[in-house]
């Protein structure tokens, strides 16, 4: 007995030891094909591609040999990755290309991407990258300067030229004059964030729809008189969207609040200034401070979470809230039950105009693709470039990614409009459909498309009539501020700027909220605030920015 | 019993009251989540759900039940938890037991050597590279072996072993029992409470571990359910915070779905504790001493 | 070579010591054999990756070599040592974690002792089980619950304040409230979980001791003081030492979700500051330097705590 037990214990020990050893060996052959090896290469050279001219100038792509490219895939929890989606087959049928997919949950995509690139395990194609996230990977040479290869990407080059995106692409350039991210492209600007209002309440009380911030103030004021127990404006997104929209209308220099380092481009004088200490910025703060002081805006707007803000809006405790089109649909769905269908009306207003005019900021570039440097050594590298060009930038590729397979997921009407098959639903389309274009087929997938990106007709094909109206209204009534030129820091300068701006902007952000909420006074505390900013290095930061800007101007032309 | 004095009775009443408060504050969030998960979405957003579901529906669960990935994740999590806990318990025990013997030469040095690693680690990338070079990526070993011993748990277990009476072992040694046999047939039966506790700690750790699988697995079919949950909850949080100007690929997960997923994900591991409590009874020692 | 008597003695002493060691290893070889696998494990999985810390002294670029590209000496250390903001967040870090230790450490012990006094077994189990539930909620959900409870307009806490005739407090916008919120939510989340270990330790106390004490006429209170607490004392001390060593750790995700620019002055800690800085450029070297600094503090603290404990009590880590 005693010996038996002892033996059992030793046996367990041995098993565990060997298990842990085998863990190493056993899985080695698995990984051999799995991760650190290059994707299976069956096709070989350029000749196998048969670029054929489609209608308009779109260049099509098909490989004679089956090809496989590795892809980093950000899996959206709304439509988690599925191996058997039709989109994979559809791409394969069209191009003879399939993906070796590395699935990463969207919630922590950036972290895994950084780890994979750092350890040399990154797939060839790395989409869903937001500028300037690519910048950190440039010094090591881990990602390709894609600008060197755009001549092999006819669809991309054509879109950039035809849609006049050169200036915006310029803002992606680095000190070497190259850019490292293939951005997603929009033919038209498709702003989405606006201010949603309970238009039925406004109408009932004869309050006109506000077109400017002053009119907004008047409207809120009347609402407050009529409903003294409410905060007429109680915002979501911690009011970031609202401030984002408002900031540029108080002074054209501002190109976005809360993001960046406080250094903004002053076009009139062709130099950079520190915006948060200007009078324009002060006026902007004064406006929101007035809203808070008079009880027109909920002071919780800056700290509450979205659900709390929504709750106030749908229960009639507030009448104004920031929204985008998807969130607007959500609000309506809830209010149909809480307020009652037809008992309310909500409309998303275009961004109000301010003292600096009816201006908005925005970009027609969006998240895009990085390409791993090791892809360059692949015999099928050129094929891959052409494939990327086709899938993300040709009309044909984008129709496939957005709408799927004609006759299966969609059909085209006589006048060329896209229509989903009756039992397929997507966003606002076919709400009674039983299958979802994204969840069940993988089309309309954020990895391959930008919701309202691409050519105008394709962007519009996705928009609900209401969205379309909103986008058209913004484009016709608002003026887009031109993009600021990039400051081409080198690595050391960027580090220096970053070390200065993080604590500085922390201070600015906290003072911004204090000024708005009235915890700090714009009369008595402003001068000290300006002094503190200087003391925290705002002057040095601006000086650095201007020095770099002036000395690298020629790189951009 | 002599100890049932008046003061002690008062204390017991107060104690029960305190415990009732504890039950309320710790249970409420779960009642709330459960209520949300059975409510219609609109009432949740209107803030009308508190204790009981409003607009009662089981739709949320029905939808979730149909989600294949969720169940694959579930199955994975169970496998990872069982294998991981077994490895951890084994490794921790064989380390903690020798270290509980004060007579062991070099004990102090070994302990300092081990405790050092609680504070110094190589960081994400070297750890990832190690697992990669051992060929463990995309295998269960990537998430079970590197964390096989939690030094914290090992020290707790060792402290427990130190508290065991020495006489038993000495007697066994005189009887000619070897260390292995003493460990298996004398120490372990006496250590049920700590073994149960460690099993719980490791199992909970393995169950909740989304980060390891996130780092080392590239295949969706290997993801545990917690990674599914993480993507859902943190993904939605992320898009809510980063509101850009363009229409993005937003994640809109209904509060009801989040609540239902949270409940389904944590429920099985919650059920482990009551099962383990039966080992927390005083007197495990007594029988063995008299033997 | 002149060998004097003292040296001979030393040599003899050494060799006899060695003999003793060999003897003890021989005698306890089975005990030692158990250590082999775990020690290999520690060498491979815990010591193996330590080389990564070298990038605190070398410049690292993401995608470049793991050990960095060039020596920069103490440049990254100088960067944070000379950064006044770093010392602010360092101070916040310490205050948050010391508070958690002071408030959070004794409660699981008290809770376990109170549980121990419950005479109804079923009720005891129910309390035990519910009390550990909050441990399983993710930081996102905990943050959501906190935000809802603390809302000045709709939150439970402020409704209570209002019914008592007070003015509602905008908790999340007030720097002075951040710390209590952090501590209290931590206590709520971890007390039940933390008590488990003491419950296990309690079951290790021999009932005979209680019987003997009861015969001697000791009441419950005296039994608690003289039997129960000494019985779990080694566990308490060990956990205290470990917690002192873990003093630099704070709940990064919870802070990130609960703080805002208005509360940076009390809420911002090292990890959140690094996070905001990292948004711009992923400076791994800088983060590693700070990490190393924290490690040294942690290890020093645990060593000192261990030393003190060994002098004052019988219990120590090593």
Give the pLDDT of chain A (557 residues) as one tens digit per residue.
Answer: 444 544 544 544 444 444 444 443 333 333 333 333 344 333 333 333 334 434 556 788 999 999 999 999 999 988 999 999 999 999 999 999 999 999 999 988 989 999 999 999 999 999 999 888 898 899 899 999 999 999 999 999 999 999 999 988 988 999 899 999 999 999 999 888 899 999 999 999 999 999 999 999 999 999 999 999 999 999 998 888 898 889 889 986 555 444 467 888 888 888 899 989 999 999 999 999 999 999 999 999 999 888 889 999 999 999 999 998 888 888 898 898 888 888 999 999 999 999 999 998 888 998 999 999 999 999 999 999 999 999 999 999 999 999 999 999 999 999 889 999 999 999 889 989 999 999 999 999 999 999 899 999 999 999 999 999 999 999 999 998 888 888 898 888 888 888 888 899 999 999 999 999 999 999 999 999 999 999 999 999 999 999 999 998 888 77
Neighbours of chain C (3+ CB pairs under 8 A): A, B
Q: Could you say which residues of chain C have pLDDT below 70?
A: 1-14, 17, 279-282
Can you list the domains of chain C with their CATH numbers?
5-50 (no CATH), 83-312 (1.10.3720.10)
User: Which range marks the domain in which residue B29 is found?
Assistant: 6-57
pLDDT computed for residue B120 by the predictor: 93
pLDDT computed for residue C9 by the predictor: 65
Residue B184 is part of a domain; what is its CATH number?
Answer: 1.10.3720.10
Q: Could you say which residues of chain B have pLDDT below 50?
A: 1-3, 240-245, 284-291
At C62, give phi and psi (nearest 5°): -55, 125
Asked if the Cβ–Cβ distance from B160 to C204 is below 8 Å, we say yes
Q: Does C154 touch chain B (CB under 8 A)?
A: yes
Q: Is there a domain that residue B62 lies in?
A: no
Residues B42 and B12 in one domain: yes
Among C89, C280, C282, C290, the residue to mutate for chain A (most A Cβ within 10 A) = C280
User: Which chain A residues are Cβ-neighbours of C283 within 8 angstroms?
Assistant: 495, 498
Q: Is there a domain that residue B95 lies in?
A: yes
- ∠ at Cα C41 (C39, C42), nearest 5°? 65
Residues B76 and B49 in one domain: no
Q: Return d(Cα A100, Cα B248) in angstroms, integer.
A: 25
| Cβ–Cβ under 8 Å, residues C237 and C150 | no
For residue C246, give every residue at least 6 positions away whose Cβ sits within 8 Å of its Cβ, in sequence order, or none: B118, C97, C298
Residues B109 and B134 in one domain: yes
| Closest by Cβ to B8, choosing from C127, C220, C242 | C220
Strand (E) or helix (H) holding C6: helix C5-27
Asked if the Cβ–Cβ distance from C302 to B284 is below 8 Å, we say no
Residues B202 and B280 in one domain: yes
Q: Is there a domain that residue B106 lies in?
A: yes
Q: Which residues pair with A125 in a beta bridge?
A: A71, A371
pLDDT computed for residue A443 by the predictor: 95
pLDDT, tens digit, 9 for 90 and up, residues C280-302: 456 788 889 999 999 999 999 99
Residues B77 and B204 in one domain: yes
Q: Is there a domain that residue B63 lies in?
A: no
| Closest by Cβ to A105, choosing from B184, B221, B231 | B231
Asked if the Cβ–Cβ distance from A303 to C85 is below 8 Å, we say no
| Cβ–Cβ under 8 Å, residues A127 and A447 | yes
pLDDT computed for residue B177 by the predictor: 85
At B128, give phi and psi (nearest 5°): -60, -45
Asked if the Cβ–Cβ distance from A103 to B219 is below 8 Å, we say yes
Query: B43 to chain A nearest CA, in Å?
Result: 7
Residues B19 and B75 in one domain: no
Q: Does C48 touch chain B (CB under 8 A)?
A: yes
Asked if the Cβ–Cβ distance from A506 to C37 is below 8 Å, we say no
| Closest by Cβ to C280, choosing from A120, A302, A498 | A498
pLDDT computed for residue A221 by the predictor: 96
| Cβ–Cβ under 8 Å, residues A367 and A192 | no
Q: Which residues pair with A263 in a beta bridge?
A: A274
| Cβ–Cβ under 8 Å, residues A275 and A486 | no
Asked if the Cβ–Cβ distance from A118 to C260 is below 8 Å, we say no
Asked if the Cβ–Cβ distance from A495 to C262 is below 8 Å, we say no
Question: What ipTM score was computed for the predicted complex, to two decimals?
Answer: 0.89
Asked if the Cβ–Cβ distance from C295 to B179 is below 8 Å, we say no
Number of structural domains (chain B) is: 2
Neighbours of chain B (3+ CB pairs under 8 A): A, C
| Closest by Cβ to C173, choosing from A13, A136, A517 | A517
Q: Is there a domain that residue B222 lies in?
A: yes
Q: Return d(Cα A264, Cα A500) in angstroms, integer.
A: 15
pTM: predicted TM-score of the whole model, two decimal places: 0.88
Query: C41 to chain B nearest CA, in Å?
Result: 8
Neighbours of chain A (3+ CB pairs under 8 A): B, C
Query: B66 to chain C nearest CA, in Å?
Result: 24
Asked if the Cβ–Cβ distance from A506 to C61 is below 8 Å, we say no
Residues in chain C: 318
pLDDT computed for residue B282 by the predictor: 58
């Amino acid at each position: 007995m005693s010996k038996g037990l002892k033996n059992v214990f030793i046996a367990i020990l041995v098993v565990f030891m060997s298990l842990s050893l085998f863990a190493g060996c056993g899985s080695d052959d698995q990984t051999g094909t799995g991760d650190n090896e290059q994707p299976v290469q069956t096709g070989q050279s350029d000749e196998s591609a048969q670029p054929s001219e489609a209608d308009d100038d779109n260049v099509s792509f098909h490989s004679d040999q089956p090809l496989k490219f590795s892809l980093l895939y950000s899996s959206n929890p709304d439509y988690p990755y599925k191996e058997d989606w039709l989109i994979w087959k559809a791409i394969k049928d069209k191009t003879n290309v399939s993906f070796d997919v590395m699935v990463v949950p969207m919630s922590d995509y950036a972290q895994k991407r950084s780890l994979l690139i750092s350890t040399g395990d990154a797939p060839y194609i790395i989409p869903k990258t937001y500028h300037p996230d690519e910048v950190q990977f440039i010094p090591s040479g881990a990602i390709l300067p894609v600008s060197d290869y755009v001549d092999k990407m006819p669809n991309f080059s054509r879109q950039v030229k035809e849609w006049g995106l050169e200036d915006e692409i310029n803002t992606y350039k680095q000190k070497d004059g190259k850019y490292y991210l293939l951005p997603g492209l929009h033919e038209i600007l498709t702003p989405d964030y606006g201010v949603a209002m309970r238009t039925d309440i406004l109408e009932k009380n004869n309050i006109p729809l506000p077109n400017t911030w002053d009119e907004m103030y008047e409207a809120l004021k009347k609402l407050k008189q009529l409903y003294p127990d409410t905060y007429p404006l109680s915002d979501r997104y911690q009011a970031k969207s609202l401030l984002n929209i408002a900031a540029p209308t108080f002074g054209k220099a501002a190109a976005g609040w809360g993001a960046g380092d406080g250094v903004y481009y002053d076009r009139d004088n062709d130099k950079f200034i520190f915006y948060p200490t200007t009078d324009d910025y002060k006026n902007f703060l004064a406006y929101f401070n007035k809203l808070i002081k008079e009880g027109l805006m909920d002071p919780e707007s800056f700290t509450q979470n979205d659900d709390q803000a929504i709750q106030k809006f749908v229960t009639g405790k507030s009448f104004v809230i920031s929204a985008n089109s998807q969130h607007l649909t959500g609000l309506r769905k809830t209010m149909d039950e809480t307020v009652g269908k037809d008992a309310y009306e909500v409309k998303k207003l275009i961004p109000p105009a301010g003292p600096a005019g009816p201006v908005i900021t925005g970009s027609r570039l969006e998240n895009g693709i990085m390409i791993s440097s090791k892809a360059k050594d692949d015999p099928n590298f050129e094929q891959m470039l052409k494939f990327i060009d086709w899938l993300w930038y040709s009309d044909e590729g984008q129709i496939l990614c957005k709408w799927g397979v004609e006759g299966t997921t969609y059909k085209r009407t006589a006048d060329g409009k896209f229509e989903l098959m009756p039992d397929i639903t997507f966003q606002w389309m076919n709400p009674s459909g039983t299958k979802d274009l994204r969840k069940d087929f993988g089309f309309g997938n954020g990895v391959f498309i930008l919701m309202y990106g691409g050519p105008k007709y394709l962007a519009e094909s996705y928009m609900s009539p209401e969205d379309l109206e909103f986008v058209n209204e913004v484009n016709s009534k608002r003026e887009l501020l031109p993009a600021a030129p990039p400051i081409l820091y080198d690595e050391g300068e960027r580090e220096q700027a970053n070390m200065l701006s993080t604590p500085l902007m922390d201070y600015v952000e906290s003072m911004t909220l204090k000024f708005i909420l009235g915890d700090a006074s714009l009369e008595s505390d402003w001068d000290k605030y300006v002094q503190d900013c200087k003391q925290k290095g705002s002057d040095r930061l601006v000086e650095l920015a201007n020095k770099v800007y002036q000395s690298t101007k020629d790189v951009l032309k | 019993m002599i100890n049932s004095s008046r003061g002690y009775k008062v204390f017991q009443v107060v104690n029960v009251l305190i415990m009732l408060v504890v039950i309320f504050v710790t249970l409420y969030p779960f009642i709330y989540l459960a209520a949300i998960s059975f409510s219609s979405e609109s009432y949740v957003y209107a803030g009308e759900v508190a204790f009981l579901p409003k607009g009662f529906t089981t739709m949320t669960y029905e939808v979730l039940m149909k989600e294949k990935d969720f169940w694959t994740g579930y199955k994975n999590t169970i496998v990872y938890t069982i294998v991981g806990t077994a490895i951890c318990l084994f490794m921790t025990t064989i380390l903690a037991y020798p270290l509980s013997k004060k007579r062991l030469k070099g004990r102090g040095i070994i302990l300092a050597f081990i405790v050092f690693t609680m504070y110094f680690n190589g960081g994400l990338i070297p750890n990832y590279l190690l697992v990669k070079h051992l060929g463990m990526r995309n295998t269960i070993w990537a998430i079970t072996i590197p964390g096989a011993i939690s030094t914290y748990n090992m020290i707790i277990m060792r402290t427990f072993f130190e508290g065991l009476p020495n006489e038993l072992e000495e007697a066994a040694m005189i009887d000619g029992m070897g260390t292995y046999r003493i460990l298996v047939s004398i120490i372990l039966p006496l250590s049920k409470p700590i073994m149960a506790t460690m099993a719980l700690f490791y199992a909970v750790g393995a169950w909740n571990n989304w980060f390891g699988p996130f780092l080392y697995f590239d295949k969706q079919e290997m993801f545990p359910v917690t990674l599914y949950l993480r993507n859902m909850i943190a993904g939605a949080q992320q898009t809510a915070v980063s509101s850009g100007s363009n229409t993005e690929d937003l994640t809109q997960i209904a509060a009801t779905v989040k609540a239902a997923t949270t409940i389904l994900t944590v429920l099985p591991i919650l059920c482990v504790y009551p099962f383990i409590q039966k080992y927390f009874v005083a007197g495990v020692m007594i029988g063995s001493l008299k033997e | 070579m002149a060998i004097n008597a003292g040296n001979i003695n030393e040599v003899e002493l050494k060799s006899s010591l060695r003999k003793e060691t060999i003897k003890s290893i021989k005698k306890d070889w089975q005990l030692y054999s158990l250590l082999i696998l775990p020690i290999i494990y520690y060498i491979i999985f815990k010591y193996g990756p330590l080389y990564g810390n070298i990038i605190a002294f070398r410049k690292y670029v993401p995608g470049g070599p793991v050990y960095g590209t060039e020596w920069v000496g103490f440049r990254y250390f100088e960067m944070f040592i000379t950064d006044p903001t770093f010392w602010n967040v360092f101070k916040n870090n310490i205050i948050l974690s010391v508070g958690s230790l002071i408030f959070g450490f004794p409660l699981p012990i008290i809770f376990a002792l109170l549980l121990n006094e419950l005479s109804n077994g079923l009720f005891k189990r129910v309390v035990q089980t519910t009390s550990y539930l909050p441990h399983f909620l993710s930081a996102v959900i905990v943050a959501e619950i906190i935000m809802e409870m603390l809302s000045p307009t709709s939150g439970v806490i402020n409704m209570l304040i209002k019914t008592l005739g007070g003015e509602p407090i905008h908790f999340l916008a007030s720097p002075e409230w951040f710390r209590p919120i952090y501590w209290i939510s931590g206590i709520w989340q971890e007390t039940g979980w933390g008590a488990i270990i003491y419950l296990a330790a309690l079951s290790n106390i021999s009932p005979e001791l209680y019987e003997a004490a009861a015969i001697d006429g000791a009441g419950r209170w005296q039994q608690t003081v003289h039997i129960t607490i000494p019985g779990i004392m080694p566990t308490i001390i060990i956990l205290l030492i470990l917690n002192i060593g873990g003093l630099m750790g704070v709940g990064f995700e919870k802070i990130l979700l609960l703080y805002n620019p208005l509360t940076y002055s009390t809420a911002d800690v090292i990890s959140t500051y690094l996070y905001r800085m990292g948004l711009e450029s992923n400076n791994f070297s800088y983060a590693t330097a700070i990490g190393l600094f924290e490690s040294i503090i942690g290890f020093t603290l645990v060593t000192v705590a261990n030393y003190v404990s060994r002098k004052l009590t019988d219990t120590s880590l090593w």
